[in-house]
Amino acid sequence: MEIFYTAAMTLNLLCALVIMVSGIQKQESHFLSLALLNVLVFLFNLFSWQLHASTTLESIIQISRYQTMVTIIGLPLMTFTFGSWSKYKYTKQLTMALSIAVIPFLILNFLGDSSLRYSGETQLVQFTSVFGNTISLLSGETNPIFVGIHIIFVINSLMLAFFSYRLFRQEKNTVAIILAFLLLAQVFANYIGYKIDSLELPFFYVGGLPLTLISVVCLVLISSRYKTNIEKLKKGEQQKADIDKAISALAIEVSNTDDFQFYNKTALNIQQLFKTKFVNIGIYCEGEIERRIETLSVINNGKLMENFSYPLKNTPCDEVVGKDICIYENNVDKQFSEDEWLTNQEIKAYIGIPLFNKQKEPLGIVTLMHDTKYQLDLNLRSLLDVFANRISAELARDNLAKKLKMLAYYDYITKLPNRAHLLEQINLSFKRNAYNQTNALLILVDLDNFKEINKVYGYDFADDILKEIGHRLKIYAGENIFVARNGGDEFAIIIDQLSGDKTSLIEVNWQAISAVIKAPIRINDQEVIVECSAGNVIYPLQTDDMHSVIRYAESALQQAKYNGRNQYAVFDKNIQAVFERQQIILTEVQAAMTDNNQLHMVYQPQTDGDGNLMGAESLIRWISPEYGFISPAEFIPIVEKTELIHQLGYWIIENVFKQLQSWKTAELKTPAHISINIAAKQLIHTDFVPKLVSLCNEYQIIPSEIVLELTESGILEDKSIAIASLLSLKGHGFMIALDDFGTGYSSLSHLKDLPIDILKIDKSFIDDVFSPGTKQIIQSMFSTSKHLDLDTIAEGMETKEQVDELLHLGCTCFQGYYFSKPLPAEDFIQWRHLK
């Protein structure tokens, strides 16, 4: 027995030490935990030896506690060791769960009168082993709690079996077999231990033997691995000894992938190593007419030459690119007499190595050429493949970088630099000009009414237009002129380091760019002419912030559009302030529509000459918590230029409809009709008429109770569509009023075409009603409206004298402060004119 335990413990310590050192070197956690397991087995064997040698009940109970403790600790540690070895992703979680599960058992092991294995009274039993020596043993009734440890042991065994299966799947057959053997041997060892505890087998505890044997096997495997590594190292050293110092220098250069001179250094190293006169590295280019090689590096006797390109046809390279290595030891110039380069350089020997990417597509070629007969050293033949693979990898990386840069920095449709590239160029240009105390010009060009081209001809046709304009602008670009697509139908031109009069320069470039874009474009037998507007900003002169350059150019572009399109504008800080105010208003009004405390409707009475209520005009009011009262005259025109007008328009309509419905529900007397102002964008929108009808049905509003007010200029923006919508609205019963009548360019000539019911005389005529000329114009308006059977409303009435004069001229309906200012709904419904 003493010999067994001494040998086993010695092996345990030796295995623990060697396995721990290997685990530290390889940074493998499962080796470190296996080393710790060997320490536990050492302790188990030590305590087993001491237990069998004990002579008092007190000492054997204490040693039994230690032996049980070591056994319990070993269960989660075994799970971690082989779980990590099989790379099971939940190993740490399982180990933690088992560790938590065994903690109560460890505590109970030291709280009772005996170890956790026994309950009740225990006694010291001695017997003679099969080897003839006297062995002590602790005997007693089995503790029911210790059954829990057996359950954990079964769970641990199942996990070990699972880990063994995973190792087999990972083709780690040796470790899997070792683990399976450990599992079976541990079960057998536990059975032996059970027989010894039952006094049925006169033997000593061998529970640590399976893991000791496994560790010895691991020790042998580690030694074998060290031996294999040493043999590989010796073989590598031998191979390294066969390589010239030049090869070592070459390897250093080849590994330096960050050097932009990679191809030159690599070609030079090849030339020095293989001692040929020429070494060329080239990329393969497949054009529509011919296949060519563009050289990246040309080395002649250790000197770098200028790059060139050549067609593949009738050259030995044609037999290499996309195929296989090709070697001509002599007279290659005679075999390819049409290859002028070979003839001119008097090349006799030729070696060509093809370059491929991972998809086996041709990338290029490496050529070694000599002016005398040349035989390739067979010992260096494999090195050509090393060079070819390394150069191929670098070419593939370069190609990928170019593709990624193309995707990241170039527009897909026009192939021009995109917005990201533009921003980068502006930053570089800004810094350069700031440093040189010079200026650059950014011209932001927008195609006028390009949405109409999309609408009429379709997106594919519009994309072709963009391609053509992009092509023209690309030709316009030059050494100091950078052209990009900013997005949508916007293009950007940077003219760097301006010289001369800036005003003249802007004018000249505008004329040139405008002419380039306006030239007729023919696509699929369809000819179109595109006009443009432009915004200009000079930087750093007009801004000391590079991030504001595009924003300022956009501000100037907006001004050019506001001025009537087909022209340019130069950035002005005052205009920028207006533009920023507009952006604030657009943001705030959108938020206001969801806030019940900001927007509200007021109603201005429309009366006869005596002040009797005939109708009302609904008007929107906005009180911002941050900016206070914001006039409709300011925010409505801003909103009308954007798609936000649809959202605001429906908000107004629904609020008026709700109010009208509320009055009806309360059985209050409502005006004969209520007017709602409609923007041109709303009128020509395809969903407007059906949506308006739907809202009438939802709020039980009769269409004849609603007057839709539109301005003449709004209707004439898209006259045909507007008239079609107006006819549809009248068909449903809505009345149509022409607001601000008389302010248009040719109002009277349009009246016969417009399906309207009411003319509203603009306030500017009312203010000047006592002027003879104005009076005659107003009389003609009334005459025209009477002839066309239209009602009239005079707006802006402020005095009784104005009312009397207009009554005299034939007006029957009035609206203005003389009768009432616009009123909140609750005041309007109670309003009566005080005569």
Residue 711 tokens read as: 């301005």
Clarify whether residues 618 and 710 are in a common domain. Answer: yes
Is there a domain that residue 310 lies in? yes
Clarify whether residues 791 and 686 are in a common domain. Answer: yes
Which segments of 242-290 does DSSP mark as H helices, in order? 245-254, 262-274
Burial bucket for residue 108 (CB in 10 Å: 0-12, 13-18, 19+): middle
Residues 512-531: b if buried by 16+ CB within 10 A, e if exposed: ebbeebeeebebeeeeeebe
Domain limits for position 642: 589-828
Q: What is the pLDDT of residue 82?
A: 80
Mark which of 190, 225, 260 sits at the end of a domain: 225
Q: What is the pLDDT of residue 253?
A: 53
Clarify whether residues 52 and 166 are in a common domain. Answer: yes
Is there a domain that residue 577 lies in? no
- The residues, any chain, with a CB within 8 Å of residue 195's CB and separated by 6 or more, are 201, 203
Is there a domain that residue 754 lies in? yes
Q: What is the pLDDT of residue 116?
A: 77
Q: What is the pLDDT of residue 746?
A: 45
Mark which of 365, 385, 406 sits at the end of a domain: 406
Location of structure tokens 């509320």: 662
CATH number at 687 reads 3.20.20.450
Q: How far apart are CA 282 and CA 128, in angstroms?
A: 88
Clarify whether residues 518 and 552 are in a common domain. Answer: yes
Q: What is the pLDDT of residue 824?
A: 95
Clarify whether residues 418 and 558 are in a common domain. Answer: yes
DSSP symbols for 188-255:
HHHHHHHHHHTT-S-----TTHHHHHHHHHHHHHHHHHHHHHHHHHHHHHHHHHTS-HHHHHHHHHHT
Is there a domain that residue 106 lies in? yes
Please state whether beta strands 814-815 and 791-795 pair in parallel, antiparallel, or not at all (unpaired). parallel
Tell me which amino acid residue 212 is: T
What is the number of domains present in the chain?
Answer: 4
Is there a domain that residue 231 lies in? no
Q: What is the pLDDT of residue 246?
A: 44
Is there a domain that residue 578 lies in? no
Clarify whether residues 424 and 392 are in a common domain. Answer: no
Mark which of 571, 598, 626 sits at the end of a domain: 571
Clarify whether residues 211 and 87 are in a common domain. Answer: yes
Q: What is the pLDDT of residue 26?
A: 65
The predicted-structure confidence for 20-77, as pLDDT tens digits, reads as follows 777 666 667 777 877 788 888 888 878 878 887 888 888 888 888 888 888 888 888 8
If one counts every other C-beta atom within 10 angstroms of the C-beta of residue 800, the result is 9
Residue 492 gets which letter from DSSP?
A: E
Burial bucket for residue 201 (CB in 10 Å: 0-12, 13-18, 19+): middle
- Ranges of residues in the chain with a pLDDT under 50 are 235-236, 238-239, 241-243, 246, 250, 254-255, 257-259, 745-746
Sign of CA dihedral 290, 294, 299, 303: positive
Query: Length of the chain in residues, anyone?
Result: 835
Clarify whether residues 421 and 564 are in a common domain. Answer: yes
Q: What is the pLDDT of residue 731?
A: 94
pTM listed for this prediction? 0.47
Q: How far apart are CA 534 and CA 515, in angstroms?
A: 13
Which segments of 437-548 does DSSP mark as H helices, in order? 450-457, 459-476, 502-518
Is there a domain that residue 237 lies in? no
DSSP symbols for 85-148:
HTT-TTHHHHHHHHHHHHHHHHHHHTTSSS-TTEEEEEEEEEEE-TTS-EEEEEEEEEPTTHHH
DSSP symbols for 337-370:
TT-HHHHHTT--EEEEEEEE-TT--EEEEEEEEE
Q: What is the pLDDT of residue 669?
A: 86
CATH number at 540 reads 3.30.70.270
Q: What is the pLDDT of residue 269?
A: 85
Clarify whether residues 50 and 127 are in a common domain. Answer: yes
Is there a domain that residue 240 lies in? no
Q: What is the pLDDT of residue 196?
A: 73
Clarify whether residues 731 and 750 are in a common domain. Answer: yes
Clarify whether residues 566 and 625 are in a common domain. Answer: no
Write phi, then psi, for 121 (nearest 5 degrees): -80, 140
Indicate the average pLDDT of the chain: 84
CB of 556 within 8 A of CB of 570?
Answer: yes
Clarify whether residues 419 and 395 are in a common domain. Answer: no
The predicted-structure confidence for 719-773, as pLDDT tens digits, reads as follows 788 889 999 999 999 999 998 887 654 456 667 778 899 999 988 899 998 998 8
Q: Is the peptide bond before 671 cis (omega within 30 degrees of 0)?
A: no
Please state whether beta strands 291-300 and 134-142 pair in parallel, antiparallel, or not at all (unpaired). unpaired
